[in-house]
Amino acid sequence: MEAKVIEALKGGRRLGIMGGTFDPIHYGHLVAAETARDELGLDNVLFIPTGIPPHKLNRRVTDANLRYAMVEMSIRNNKYFKVSKLEIEREGPTYTIDTLRILHTFFPEQELYFITGTDALRELFTWREPEEIIRLAKIIGASRPGYDSYGLLASFARKYSFPKDQILLLEIPALAISSTDIRARVHKKKSIRYLLPDEVRLFIKENKLYQEL
């Protein structure tokens, strides 16, 4: 991991982790990260754009450096938010468990909080080594319009055994924003203003991203 990121995160007690494709980053991601930071008293939230997302192998994903740049410009004005190329620089598909192990090695004394929307949370037990993920980090399921997080947690509790306080639900101001919808809007030449930071909107325009789906 980048020396400057390690330096910036050192000394904290609670580290939030916001993984995602961020193709592009939008206000849904930022609100989830900020609400988690505020509600759970996190010292920092580390954004980790995926390299090749294992579950998105069938879609063309925007170049990692462009996705990283959009995250970077979006979080610049929040001193608690950091971004790392940890997953981008790893070869092949990247798995959450590997990332958590690396973070745990760098910051053994910090509690890790893995922030995810309820849509992604649904898939948790299909990820590689779910029990280990839940052991290494608390999972924070941020509400997302259209997904029943309480029903989901109840079904997890029936089907799997895990320490109950390792998966927490977080109500965030509902934002029915998704990267898929933003890409589709750009493709159809519809406005994406106010769905994401303005710098990102201009960056998409300048780099002619998402003109094809």
Residues that bind ligand ATP (CB under 6 A): 20-23, 28-29, 32, 116-117, 119-120, 142, 144, 175, 177-180
Instruction: Tell the smallest beta-carbon distance from residue 183 to ligand ATP (Å).
Output: 7
Q: 55 or 205, CB closer to ligand ATP?
A: 55
CA dihedral 151→156→162→163, nearest 10 degrees, is 0
Instruction: Tell the smallest beta-carbon distance from residue 9 to ligand ATP (Å).
Output: 20
Q: 99 or 116, CB closer to ligand ATP?
A: 116
Q: 6 or 126, CB closer to ligand ATP?
A: 126
Determine the Cα–Cα distance for residues 83 and 111; give it in Å rounded to an integer.
Answer: 18
Determine the Cα–Cα distance for residues 164 and 113; give it in Å rounded to an integer.
Answer: 15
Within 8 A by CB and 6+ apart from 175, the residues are 27, 28, 31, 145
Q: 112 or 142, CB closer to ligand ATP?
A: 142
Instruction: Tell the smallest beta-carbon distance from residue 113 to ligand ATP (Å).
Output: 13
- CB-based contact 88:99 (threshold 8 Å): no
Determine the Cα–Cα distance for residues 156 and 55; give it in Å rounded to an integer.
Answer: 21
Instruction: Tell the smallest beta-carbon distance from residue 72 to ligand ATP (Å).
Output: 15
Determine the Cα–Cα distance for residues 29 and 22; give it in Å rounded to an integer.
Answer: 8
Q: 60 or 79, CB closer to ligand ATP?
A: 60
Instruction: Tell the smallest beta-carbon distance from residue 67 to ligand ATP (Å).
Output: 9
- CB-based contact 152:141 (threshold 8 Å): yes
Q: 4 or 55, CB closer to ligand ATP?
A: 55
Instruction: Tell the smallest beta-carbon distance from residue 122 to ligand ATP (Å).
Output: 9
Tell me the helices (H) and strands (E) count for the chain, helix number first: 9, 6
